[in-house]
Amino acid sequence: MEGRRSGELDRDFIELFGIGPPIEKGIYVISDPCLNLSSEIIRMYSKMIDIVDIRWNPPLILYPENIRGRVKCYSDLGCEVMASGELLENALFRLDSEKIFRNLVKMGFKYFLISEKPYIEYKDIVRGIGKGEDFGLIPVIKVFNVYRRSLRKRIDEYISLNSYILISLDRENYPQHFIRDDRVNWDLITEFIDKTDVNRIIFQTRSTENMYKLLNRVGLKMNIYLYDLKDLVEFENLKLGLIKESTLLDPLRDIKGGVAPKFIYYILLNEGPKTISQLMRISGLPLRTIQDALYKLRRQGMVKKVEREGSKEAIWMSIK
C-alpha cells in the first residue's frame, strides 16, 4: 500500500504560516494508542496514520469483543490494522494457525507481525507467511540476529513472499543486526538501503536523532513505525524543517577514535567531498593518519567512498 499525503490534518495551518504544501510520505505505522487517548484525538490524527499495530495480550484474549471493538474503531477512521505480540506468535506456531488467521480476518485485521526469535525456526516463519497470505493477510517480519542464514538472503526471501520488513534501531531483547556496541551501525544501514527495495522496509525508532539520519539516507517517503502520537508529531516536524539540525545533533559529538577522525569529518562536512590528496593538503596531516581516520569514520557510518570513473583516486564524502 502507499502512504497517504502527509500533513492533511494541518493543511490550513501550513498554508497560513507559509511553511509549504504537504509533502509525500511513506507508510506510517503507530502502536495502538486507543487505551490512552480519547476517540476525538484519535480521529484527528487518523488522517496521518496508515496502519495501527494492536498487540495481543491476556486481557484482550479473555475478552475478544475488546479486540473487535478496537479494530472497528480504527477501520471506521480509514486505518488498516495489524496484529502483533508474543502471545499471538506463540498461538500461531504452537496451536492451529489456520483457525487463528481465519479469526484475524473475521475481526478485520489486514496485517500480522512476526518477530524472528531463537525458539521459532526460520522455515516455520516462511511457512507462516504462506498461510497468512492464503487468508489475504499481509505479513510484516521483524528481523533479529538469531539465525545462521544471512540477513540478505532472509530479507530477499521475505520480500519475494510479499512481506514487509520491520527493522528496529532501538535496543531490543534479541541481538540486533543494526546495533553494534549499543550504537546504530550506520555503515551497514547505508549499505543495506542501497541494495534493498526500501518501499518494503519499515524502520522503527524512538530517537529523533535516528529519524533525522534515516530521512537523510532514505528520503521523505520512508516507511516508519512510531510508538505514539508524540513521535508522529516530531517526525512530521523534522520533515517540514521545523526542528533545527543544530539543536538535534552535534555530528562531532558521537565520533570515536580520537581527534583526527573528528578533524577529517569536520572538513568533509563543511567543505564538501574531497580526495585523500586534498585532505592531506587542507589538514596538513600525513597520509597514514588520514587513511586511519577515514577507516574509523567509515566503520561508524559517518563517511562513504565514491569511486570516480577514469580516476585512480576516490572521493570521500560525509554522511550527515
Q: Which of 57, 52, 45 is nearest to 74 (CA)?
A: 52
Mean pLDDT of 274-287: 89
Residues 6+ away with beta carbon under 8 Å from 189: 169, 178, 214, 217, 301
> Given the DSSP bridges, would you call strands 303-306 and 315-318 parallel, antiparallel or unpaired?
antiparallel
- 38-47: list long-range contacts, CB under 8 Å, 24+ apart: 39/73, 41/229, 42/73, 42/74, 42/77, 43/77, 44/9, 45/9, 45/229, 45/232, 46/74, 46/77, 46/78, 46/79, 47/4, 47/8, 47/9, 47/78
Higher pLDDT: 138 or 20? It is: 138
36-54: average pLDDT: 79
**Confidence band (pLDDT; 50, 70, 90) for 9?**
very low
Please report the pLDDT score of residue 34 as a whole number: 58
Question: What's the confidence (pLDDT) of residue 319?
Answer: 78
List domains and CATH numbers for the chain: 11-248 (3.20.20.70), 259-318 (1.10.10.10)
Angle at which helices 122-134 and 151-160 cross, to 10°:
10
- The pLDDT of residue 142 is 93
Give the length of the chain: 320
Residue entry with cell 502512504? 3
Instruction: Give the residue carrying C-alpha cell 546504530.
Output: 184
Where does residue 141 rank: exposed (0-12), middle (13-18), buried (19+ CB within 10 A)?
Answer: buried
Mean pLDDT of 297-320: 83
Report which residue type is found at 152: R
Looking at the predicted structure, is the pLDDT value of residue 119 above 80? yes
- Give the chain's count of helices (H) and strands (E): 15, 12
Q: Using one digit for the tens of pLDDT, what is the confidence trace for 123-160?
A: 999 999 999 999 999 999 999 988 888 888 899 999 99
- 267-286 b/e with 16+ CB inside 10 Å = b? bbbeeeebebebbeeebebe
pLDDT digits (tens, 9 = 90+) for 60-106: 565 777 778 888 888 888 899 999 988 888 888 888 888 889 989 98
Q: Is the pLDDT of residue 58 over 90?
A: no
Q: Are 229 and 210 in contact (CB under 8 A)?
A: no
Look at residue 15 and tell me whether its pLDDT is greater than 50. Answer: no
Segment among 10-24, 194-208, 217-231 with least mean pLDDT: 10-24
Window from 6-15, 29-38, 238-247 with minimum mean pLDDT: 6-15
Given CA atoms 291, 295, 300, 306 in this order, what sign does their dihedral have? positive
The C-alpha cell at 173 is 531483547
3 state DSSP class of 189:
helix
Query: CA separation (Å) from 157 to 11, 123, 160, 218, 222?
Result: 40, 11, 5, 22, 21
pLDDT for 242: 65
Phi, psi dihedral angles at 120 (to 5 degrees): -110, 120
